[in-house]
Structure 1
Amino acid sequence: MSKDNKKIVTALNEIIEMEISGVVRYLHYALMIKGPNRIPIVKWFHEQANEGYMHASLIGEKITALGGHPSLKVSPVPETKTHKVLDILKESLEFEEKALNKYKDLLKLVGDDVALEELVRQQIRTETEHIEDCKKMLDTTH
């Protein structure tokens, strides 16, 4: 494996660890939501958990295509013991911003690998949309 591929695989492994932790995080959030607005919010968190699984699978496939070995680690998911909807959404926003930054860092490493560049750009778009969703849900001015 080339030196550049090693850097890319290292970055991809950090991302897969984060995406897998997103599955755990969002499933936990879905289970902890209570109150009159529970159903649409739980649905959204389940969608996020499923998407995290799909992203982890996609990233794992890229790691193996580059000759690497996908990490079995999961980024820590802090248990804040607060399960109020707005607090959970704030945690989600922070998590999505960290994920976006990981993908932006990876974009700097892709070089002339067009397929990887397009994959990373799509993930950046998706993470950006998640951030926008979180911010809209946190907007209580309406």
Structure 2
Amino acid sequence: MSLDKDKAVALLNQIMELELAGVVRYTHYALMVYGYNRIPIVEWLNKQAEEGLLHARKAGELVTLLGGHPSLAIGPLLETHEHDNSLACSVPVGDILQESLAHEDKSLNLYYQLLELAQGKSVLVEEYARSQIVAEEMHADEVKKMLRQPCAT
């Protein structure tokens, strides 16, 4: 049994495209947050953009390792469009977090598909998929916690 490299490369390219779309989206959102809590939110969004770029690079490296050609495409760019062009308007942070969660779900789905494809066929690809699943699940949990309302005392 050997890894179906064509399927693995296709999945890795989808992952790379999705992660690059996340970089663009998080960067955009960081520019669109205003208000008293701006600094920590922008810092978190920029960190997510940087992490997405690292994830895209890892996927691209595996594409070339498997003999494939890294995609030059970027995945879908989702946005709430809940703001107008006025500088006084900010994207609602809850909307940003909901879209982030949807992005994590898509990423997790692709990483799980890659894991299933690689299990028992490529330890390298299998371990890569597992490590990315851990990272994405941790990130999704972080977003879910940010979406929860603090308890009133």
Name the TM-score class by shorter chain: over 0.9
Q: CA offset at residue 72 of structure 1? A: 0.5
**Please, which runs of 5 or more residues in structure 2 have no aligned partner?**
83-90
Q: CA offset at residue 3 of structure 1? A: 7.6
Structure 2 residue aligned with 1:24 = 24
1:137 equivalent to 2:153? Answer no
Greater radius of gyration (CA): 2
Q: CA offset at residue 141 of structure 1? A: 3.5
Identity of aligned residues (%): 52
Q: CA offset at residue 79 of structure 1? A: 3.0
Give the RMSD, CA atoms, in angstroms: 1.3
The correspondence of residues 54-73 of structure 1 with structure 2, limited to 5 A, is 54-73=54-73
Deviations 1:93-132 (A, max 9, x none): 1111111111011111114211111111010000001100
Taking the aligned partners of 2:70 and 2:16, their CA distance within structure 1 comes to: 8
SS in 1 for 2:4: helix
AA matched with 2:143: C
AA matched with 1:135: K
Spell out structure 1 runs of 4+ moving beyond 6 A.
none
TM-score (norm 1): 0.94
Q: Identify the structure with the greater helix proportion.
A: 1
**Please, which runs of 5 or more residues in structure 1 have no aligned partner?**
none
1:92 equivalent to 2:81? Answer no
Between 77-86 and 97-106, report the one with greater CA deviation. 77-86
